[in-house]
């Protein structure tokens, strides 16, 4: 047992070391470049970073992107998760269709997809609203492949049918089943789907750009073209910003798992398999 | 009330109404600027400025701040007229600019496009003639004013003189001192700048504006010798030393001087390829008056000199030099060019483009 | 409700004509399909309609014939190669990394940091990613020079960073974190009872993975690999910045045909290509479905 534990720890250390080098070295190279002076002999400077707050309309763009991230993630959870549960329980023959539909947005390059969705957005701009928040509908489509896969992995790990039948036979309505049975058992899957959605929305450029909206990535494009070092500084800053947002999200997400056990009976049913 | 008095009352009321209507149409913005073809036609520059200020916003597209000093031009316009400018898609291509005409209120008002795109999309533009229309040479504009050249430059080879020896001819690039150092600033199969780089290489190697094959062969040789780097050259790749030799418009090359103090520009005497961009106004511009005011600003002495400061050659340069309004210091700072520039026509560009599309991958893969 | 307590009759096996349950079941998926219909299927239809319009404005299949060229096929084949390679390698390495994370403290900071970092990096790409890699292992790169000083030349003959091999390596940068994020929920579902059962039956680690955990995780693993494949297949921004060689992969062809400013923009052909890409992924998905069915037969 101890030997197995040791082997596992050794495995973990090796994997983290190799992956750490692979992922952190290029980021380090970017950081190094963004602080370079203009001549070989010039000292390190933060001038490139100091140019970032001068982005026109940066505050508006950040707010818009954050709002879009929240709206898209909520819509994803409200639309995709119940549909996936329903299909698994009642319409398994549709599962392949749903799976392919959820994969479709990823099969076409974003610029081609924009061409198709543009007429719909022109209609929305003229007849409904000019607000950038309308982009949430398109972003939900973009988020479908990733969130479907994360949620599917989570759904596959729990015995959905037994759990729901047990809850229903105890008298729970579908709302209770979703909120008290399914969701608590899929914490890590829901969290990961949420992380992927937020990260996608914060990093999304093509749709906003080609539909003439100004989200975070579009706004920082302008200042990134002022200067060589600024272009890289801006990219690293955007990555760090998204990282912090996601970290906060994951702290909120798994923070709630600590005060879970309130109803003993349901909690026991709920604790089959999922540890988050 | 007797009939006669009633008649008079109605007539008076009608007259008042008609006069009021006429009055409002000549003051409060009934001039439809989207159909005006010149400032004077709409009531003069003052009327134009007032209408533009009333609109309050302008949307431009594909104008990076370090491209021919557009950063200063945009802030100059904002400061002079107090009109807010939204700059869409700064990295976009000319085709992206025209693709963005979607009829919504967020569409761009004005565009700055290459010749090929201007020719192909002339029906999307509103004709307009700036005050200085006659200063623009005949071949540099569309007769009714749908598009008109704004600035241009020559295709040059920018290089970091501390990393490679001085370049005196295009053939120097085949030398061993240039291993893994030569790059283009755009993919010639889709970028106007990249294509002109290959055309310049072709002319410098014995080809012509009609024959781009020598250029493709030249890059093939570069690739064989290991001198060619397929990365798209940007300010970041220049500063980091990834692309120390870059085929680029000379005015764009000039902007690298602030990152690399030893940056020099070489324009081959036997292959001076000129490229001009063109201004055009969106027929369905959401802010037609502001769009026209922008054009007036760009072609004013102030606007043209700002482009000159960015290293580009403004289209009114000859006229301004003889009028004495040119910024002589900036004009002197332009790279010296001896020889006759050649500018590829629309047909020559598309012929070259077709050839490059078919043969580029095989040449540099 | 007579079938409620009968395990042999699951909802799926209910005969088509039987019960009023069926129409109500379909109601449950209406919101999803309505939304997807407007924002995904309708745009696809618009793209399809656009692809049937030839360059001269007439309705024809000319654009589909335009795909029938050697360099188009080559770009599809090359797309397929890098997508498959980066998906498989990314899936394996990602699964290992996911396992390393999943076996740690579930509420620990390391897990949260890695999950958040994975989310961010999985969406990273384009010009900046290309720049980061060239700055690291390009000919002026930090790591390249470091290794060169110690006698190891990474590029003995050609600089492979700038061809398909380099592109595959760069794609791994966002494929691996994506795999970590989508596969970890499956790993979280590994129950200690499985290991205990294997131990009781006298099996060792190899038996555990080969006969118990492996097959149970395989359907999920396969689905995640498919996602990685599609992700790489439609990615183009990184390749566009790294390789000015025309359309060496299919999405670059699409980009060129939509945004080319040298007069060669052909939106109709671009749309036909986009649909061809959907067809390719449809074919791959069918193989995946077949494979899934065979390997998870005993799980139902």
B349 at C interface, C-beta within 8 A: yes
C244–B231 C-beta distance less than 8 A: yes
pLDDT tens, residue by residue, B86-115: 988 988 889 889 989 988 889 999 999 988
- Residues A200 and A142: beta-carbon distance below 8 Å: yes
Name every chain C residue with its beta carbon within 8 A of the beta carbon of B114.
261
Q: Which A-chain residues 206-225 have CB contacts (< 8 A) with chain C?
A: none
**Residues of chain B predicted below pLDDT 70:** 1-30
- Residue numbers in A near B238 (CB within 8 A): 228
pLDDT confidence band for A80 (50 / 70 / 90): very high
- What separation, in Å, do the N-terminal and C-terminal C-alpha atoms of chain A show? 24
* Chain C CB within 8 Å of residue A68 CB: no
Residue A132: closest C-alpha in chain B:
B106
Say if B34 is an interface residue toward chain A (CB within 8 Å).
Answer: no
Q: Tens place of pLDDT for every residue, chain C, 300 residues?
A: 444 445 544 445 555 555 555 577 788 889 999 999 999 999 999 988 888 887 777 788 888 887 888 778 888 899 999 999 999 999 999 999 999 999 988 888 999 999 999 999 998 888 889 889 988 998 888 889 889 898 888 888 778 888 888 899 999 999 999 999 999 988 988 888 888 888 899 888 888 888 888 888 888 899 899 999 999 998 888 888 888 777 788 888 888 888 887 767 788 888 888 888 888 888 888 888 888 777 665 554
Contacts of A274 in chain C (CB under 8 A): 188-189
pLDDT for A145-179, tens place per residue?
999 988 988 888 888 889 889 998 998 888 888 88
The answer, for A64 touching chain B at a CB cutoff of 8 Å, is no
Please check whether residue B86 touches A, CB under 8 A.
Answer: yes
Encoding tokens for residue B48? Answer: 């134009």
Q: How many whole angstroms separate alpha carbon A185 and alpha carbon A170?
A: 18
Please list every residue in chain B whose beta carbon sits closer than 8 Å to the beta carbon of residue A226.
65-66, 71
Residues of A in contact with B100 (CB under 8 A): 210, 212
Cα of C255 to nearest chain A Cα, Å? 7
- Inform me whether the C-beta atom of residue C260 falls under 8 Å from chain A C-beta atoms: no
Within 2-31 of C, beta carbons closer than 8 Å to A belong to 4, 10-12, 21, 25-26, 28-29, 31
pLDDT computed for residue A13 by the predictor: 95
- Taking the model in full, what pTM does it have? 0.84
Other beta carbons within 10 angstroms of residue B16's beta carbon come to 10
Substitution target in A153, A162, A202 with the highest count of C β-carbons within 10 Å is: A153
CB contact under 8 A, C132 and A26: yes
Q: How far is B307 from chain A (nearest CA, A)?
A: 16
CA distance A148 to chain C (A): 9
A127/C contact by beta carbon, under 8 A = no
Residue B259: per-residue pLDDT: 85
Q: Say if B260 is an interface residue toward chain A (CB within 8 Å).
A: yes
Which candidate in C52, C53, C188 is best for mutational testing of the A interface (most A CBs within 10 A)?
Answer: C188
Q: Which chains touch C (3 or more CB pairs under 8 A)?
A: A, B
Q: Which of C71, C242, C259 sits opposite B231 (nearest CB)?
A: C242
What is the ipTM metric for this complex? 0.84
Q: Which two tokens stand for residue A54?
A: 């001068």
Return the closest-CA partner of residue A95 out of A85, A109, A104, A105. A85
**How far is the alpha carbon of C277 from chain A, nearest alpha carbon, in Å?**
6
Asked if the C-beta of B234 comes within 8 angstroms of chain A's C-beta atoms, the answer is yes
Residue of C nearest to A174 (CA): C28
Evaluate whether B65 touches B71 at the Cβ level (below 8 Å).
yes
- Pairing relationship of beta strands B274-282 and B125-126 according to DSSP bridges: antiparallel
Spatial contact of B107 and B287, defined as CB atoms under 8 Å apart: no
Question: To the nearest whole number, what is the mean pLDDT of chain B?
Answer: 87
Chain A residues 229-258 with CB within 8 Å of chain B = 229, 231-232
C271 contacts in B (CB within 8 Å)? none
User: B232, C241: Cβ pair inside 8 Å?
Assistant: yes
Q: Is C266 exposed, middle or buried (0-12, 13-18, 19+ CB in 10 A)?
A: middle
Measured between beta carbons, the chain A residues lying within 8 angstroms of C191 are 273
Element at A31 (helix H, strand E): helix A2-34
- Say if strands B148-160 and B245-249 run parallel, antiparallel, or are unpaired: antiparallel
């Amino acid at each position: 047992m101890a030997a197995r534990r040791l082997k596992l720890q050794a495995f973990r250390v090796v994997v983290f070391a190799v992956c750490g080098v692979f992922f952190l070295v290029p980021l380090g190279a970017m950081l190094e470049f963004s602080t370079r002076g203009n001549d070989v002999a010039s000292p390190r400077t933060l001038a490139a970073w100091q140019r970032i707050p001068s982005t026109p309309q940066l505050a508006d763009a950040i707010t818009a992107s954050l709002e879009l991230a929240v709206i898209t993630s909520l819509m994803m959870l409200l639309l995709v998760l119940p549909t996936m549960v329903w299909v698994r329980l009642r319409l398994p023959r549709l599962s392949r269709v749903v799976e392919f539909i959820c994969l479709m947005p990823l099969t076409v390059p974003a610029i081609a997809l924009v061409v198709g969705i543009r007429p719909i957005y022109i209609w929305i701009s003229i007849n409904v609203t000019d607000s950038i928040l309308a982009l949430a509908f398109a972003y939900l489509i973009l988020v479908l492949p990733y969130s479907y896969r994360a949620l599917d992995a989570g759904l596959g790990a729990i015995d959905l049918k037994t759990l729901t039948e047990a809850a229903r036979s105890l008298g729970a309505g579908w709302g209770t089943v979703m909120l008290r049975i399914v969701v608590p058992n899929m914490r890590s899957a829901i969290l990961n789907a949420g992380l992927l959605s937020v990260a996608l929305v914060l990093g999304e450029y093509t749709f906003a750009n080609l539909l003439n909206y100004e989200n975070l990535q579009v706004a920082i494009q302008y200042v990134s073209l002022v200067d060589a070092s600024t272009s890289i500084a801006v990219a690293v800053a955007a990555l760090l910003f998204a990282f912090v947002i996601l970290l906060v999200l994951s702290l909120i997400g798994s923070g709630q798992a600590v005060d879970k056990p309130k109803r003993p009976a349901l909690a026991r049913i709920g604790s089959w398999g999922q540890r988050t | 009330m007797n009939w006669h008095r009633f008649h008079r009352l109605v007539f008076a009321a009608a007259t008042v109404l008609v006069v009021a209507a006429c009055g409002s149409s000549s003051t409060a913005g009934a001039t439809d600027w989207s159909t005006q073809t010149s400032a004077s036609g709409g009531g003069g520059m003052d009327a134009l400025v007032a209408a533009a200020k009333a609109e309050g916003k302008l949307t431009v597209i594909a104008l990076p701040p370090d491209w021919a000093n557009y950063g200063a031009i945009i802030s100059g316009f904002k400061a002079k007229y107090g009109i807010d400018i939204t700059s869409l898609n700064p990295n976009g291509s000319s085709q992206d600019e025209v693709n963005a005409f979607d009829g919504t209120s967020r569409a761009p008002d004005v565009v700055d496009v290459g010749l090929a795109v201007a020719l192909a999309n002339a029906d999307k533009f509103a004709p307009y003639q700036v005050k200085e229309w006659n200063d623009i040479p005949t071949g540099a504009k569309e007769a009714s004013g749908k598009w008109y050249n704004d600035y241009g430059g020559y295709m040059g080879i920018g290089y970091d003189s501390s990393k490679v020896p001085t370049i005196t001819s295009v053939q120097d690039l085949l030398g061993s001192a240039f291993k893994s150092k030569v790059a283009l600033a755009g993919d010639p199969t889709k970028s106007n700048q990249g294509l002109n780089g290959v055309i310049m290489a072709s002319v410098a190697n014995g080809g012509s504006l009609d024959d781009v094959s020598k250029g493709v062969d030249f890059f093939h040789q570069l690739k064989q010798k290991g001198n060619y780097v397929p990365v798209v050259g940007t300010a970041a790749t220049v500063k980091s030393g990834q692309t120390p030799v870059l085929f680029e418009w000379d005015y764009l090359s000039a902007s690298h001087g602030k990152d690399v103090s030893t940056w020099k520009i070489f324009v081959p005497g036997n292959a001076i390829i000129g490229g001009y961009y063109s201004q055009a106004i969106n027929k369905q511009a959401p802010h037609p008056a502001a769009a026209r005011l922008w054009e007036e600003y760009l072609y004013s002495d102030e606007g043209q000199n700002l482009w000159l400061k960015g290293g580009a050659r403004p289209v009114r340069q000859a006229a301004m030099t003889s009028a004495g309004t040119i910024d002589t210091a900036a004009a002197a700072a332009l790279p010296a060019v001896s020889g006759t520039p050649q500018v590829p026509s629309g047909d020559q560009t598309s012929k070259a483009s077709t050839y490059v599309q078919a043969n580029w991958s095989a040449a540099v893969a | 409700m007579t079938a409620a307590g009968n395990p042999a009759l699951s909802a799926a096996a209910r005969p088509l004509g039987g019960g009023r349950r069926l129409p109500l079941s379909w109601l449950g998926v209406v919101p999803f399909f309505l939304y997807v219909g407007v924002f995904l299927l309708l745009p696809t239809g618009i793209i399809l309609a656009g692809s049937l319009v030839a360059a001269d404005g007439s309705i024809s299949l000319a654009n589909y014939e335009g795909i029938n060229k050697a360099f188009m096929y080559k770009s599809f084949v090359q797309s397929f190669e890098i997508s498959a390679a980066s998906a498989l390698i990314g899936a394996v390495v990602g699964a290992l990394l996911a396992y390393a994370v999943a076996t740690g403290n579930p509420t620990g900071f390391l897990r949260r940091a890695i999950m958040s970092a994975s989310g961010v990096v999985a969406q990273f790409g384009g010009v900046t990613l290309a720049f980061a890699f060239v700055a690291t292992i390009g000919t002026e790169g930090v790591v390249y020079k470091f290794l060169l000083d110690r006698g190891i030349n990474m590029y003995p003959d050609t600089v492979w960073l700038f061809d398909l091999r380099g592109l595959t390596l760069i794609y791994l940068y966002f494929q691996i974190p994506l795999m970590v994020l989508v596969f970890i929920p499956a790993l979280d579902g590994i129950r200690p009872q499985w290991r205990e059962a294997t131990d009781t039956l006298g099996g060792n680690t190899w038996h555990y993975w080969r006969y118990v955990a492996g097959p149970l995780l395989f359907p999920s693993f396969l689905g995640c690999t498919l996602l990685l494949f599609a992700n790489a297949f439609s990615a183009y921004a990184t390749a566009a910045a790294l390789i000015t060689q025309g359309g060496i992969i299919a999405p670059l062809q699409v980009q060129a045909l939509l945004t080319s400013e040298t007069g060669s923009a052909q939106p109709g052909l671009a749309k036909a290509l986009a649909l061809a890409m959907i067809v390719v992924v449809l074919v791959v998905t069918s193989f995946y479905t077949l494979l899934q069915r065979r390997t998870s037969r005993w799980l139902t």
